[in-house]
Structure 1
Amino acid sequence: MILVPAIDIINGQCVRLTKGDYGSKKVYNEFPVEVAKAFEGAGLTHVHVVDLDGARAKHIVNAKVLEQIATQTSLQVDFGGGIKTETDLQTAFDCGASQVTLGSVAVIEPELVREWLEKFGAEQLILGADAKNRRIATHGWEQDSGLDVIDFIIEYAQKGFEYVLCTDVAKDGMLAGPSLELYYEILEQLPELSLIASGGVTSMDDIYQCAELGCTAAIIGKAIYENKLSLKELERYQTEQM
């Protein structure tokens, strides 16, 4: 299983939220690229970059930060936040994203997303399934779509999506463990899915449990910034997987 540290960006700075609440913002570093370089230095190979300004503004805002991370490190960048048009999507790829996560737009414009899947391919696109009380949340997790998370994932898997990043919003930033039951349910129905666990991954036990369930990757955010998980531990785990 791949370990993917997260960099969330507001005003060009590396921040973390709790349960997606913008009012809970805590700045950890003014220079996200320095954080990315630290991840790279620890032997990690991927990074999850979220443009939180973009998620609210409904278009990419922090493209420059994405470009800095992509050009100044060798990390494979999964980028999300504010992707609403093909221009946004192309901008993300042009700025160096290896993959792009599509969240709200997959709820609002499913036909457009299907077209993108045909044009860009399943290797480059990740379905973002952010769940609040098992319903898909959109627009920076501030709106409830009413869609059941598992039904939503199944629908898009049938359309050809292979990668799904599933965040349980209630777990995000709480440092209390991931949503293992939800991931078990998803993988029970879609065993071939490349499922990326997100939200609440706090300990090595959490990481091993996600791997045991069959998750392809786990995103780790606040646990790193609050020193619950050290980069040394993550490096050791990744070395074990090689």
Structure 2
Amino acid sequence: MSLFSCSKNSKEIRVAKGAGQGVYYSLFVRSFADSDGDGIGDLKGICSKLDYIESLGITGIWLLPIMPSHSYHGYDVDDYYSINPQYGTMQDFELLLAECKKRSISLIIDMPFNHSSVHNEWFVASRNPDDAHHSWYRWIEASDSRYNTNTSAMGHKLWNEDQSYKGNFYAGEFSRSMPDFNHDNPEVRAEFKRVMKFWLDKGVDGFRFDAAGHLYDLVKLPAETSDGTSRAVEFWKEMV
């Protein structure tokens, strides 16, 4: 799911008319262009290739995750408000945005909102059942009826026991290193809106939302839930 040309009004984030038109280049920063010879692609490297990208007739760039992460792919985010230090600094990103705008090249970024990293400070706090962040993620106890259906849509174990708090299990549909958010929590929704506003204020032209259809997969929802799709639709309507 992609959201382009969003309003930067703090009270409204919407899709502009005619959004998403043109040819977009999907770009994995790590493997595209290395500016400093450390073997890892970076934001300065992309800047050095913008004339080449423009020559291809590209009208927009879609950056795969650029936030800090312990994985090579970046889809398990440690901090939604920072740049992966292997890719550069926030100043480097702001320069890239400015150079793109000089060439009328739109720039959107990947935004994984289905799950975070186990290293994210929100999840670290949520491991304590008494912490306010506990409800930010999908936690259950072994007595929960959902535990009996302990297979994710991806074919691996869904519920993962926290070794520090035995008897507490968190959902990780894609991986145990990617704990799933509780999207029913108003605080989580409000935080996601703050994240989007932060990057829109930086100058990005929109987002591509990873795993948008998995937020309400029935396998991780309460047993009485019969329709996860409509709930996912309502979630995204609220976000945009």
Where is the strand percentage greater, Structure 1 or Structure 2?
1
Same fold at TM > 0.5: no
More helix as a share of residues: 1
Normalization by structure 1: what TM-score? 0.34
What TM-score does the superposition give when structure 2 sets the normalisation length?
A: 0.34
Greater C-alpha radius of gyration? 2
